[in-house]
Chain A
């Protein structure tokens, strides 16, 4: 398995509180992604990064922000958590722009519950 660690693995938080999820990689890959997985919606891209301090929005970026100050770390922040953000969050990495020679490698996921 690619060296990807997500923390925490599980979190329960209250509506309105800030939450930060961390993705750490040891592969020195340039691209990092945050997806959320929900029944009926599959995997939806929240934000992604194509280098240190270079990030862009995905399909469902509202209510989320990200930061990448080092190659190995990609942080996802929910500024004020809402119940609709209850989900399983996956981090993924790829060596270059995702294509035939650069598949995504996924972390184990973080299960977030907002009460």
Chain B
């Protein structure tokens, strides 16, 4: 079965602190993983994808197949990073499965 788990509902950090949003997945095949973000009053949008190994807005995420994880990291959080973050898995049959979401709050 395909499953994505984000264990933290809310993560609160101060500006300038490092941040890590956790994501674990369950999938028997070769997964394709993504992070989507929803800023206040904006549409849900793609933040980054694992295969491109890119850094977007200072965020990176590394796929760890041994730990079945795809944690999102940023060394120095900014107030504008406050948003809802969703980890997602593309598996069988043209479906994208999302996790429960983590709300990131960056305090000044």
A interface, CB within 8 angstroms of B: 1, 31, 33, 35, 40-45, 48, 50, 56, 58-59, 90, 92, 94, 97-100, 103-108
Q: Indicate if the CB atoms of B52 and A103 lie closer than 8 Å.
A: no
Q: Is the CB of A106 within 8 A of B43?
A: yes
Interface size bracket, B side: 20 to 34
Closest to A106 in B: B44
Check B46–A40 contact: CB distance below 8 A: no
Choose among A58, A103, A106 the residue that contacts B95 (Cβ–Cβ < 8 A). Answer: A58
Q: Please, could you name 17 A-B residue pairs with CB atoms under 8 Å apart, sorted by A?
A: A33-B96, A35-B98, A41-B100, A42-B86, A42-B100, A43-B98, A43-B101, A45-B97, A56-B94, A97-B94, A98-B32, A98-B90, A98-B94, A98-B96, A100-B50, A104-B36, A105-B43
Q: Is the CB of B96 within 8 A of A108?
A: no
Instruction: Output the nearest chain A residue to B98 by Cβ-Cβ distance.
Output: A43
B93 touches A104 (CB 8 A): no
Closest partner residue, chain B, to A33 (CB atom): B96
Given A42-B86, A98-B90, decide whether A1 and B43 contact each other with a Cβ distance below 8 A: yes
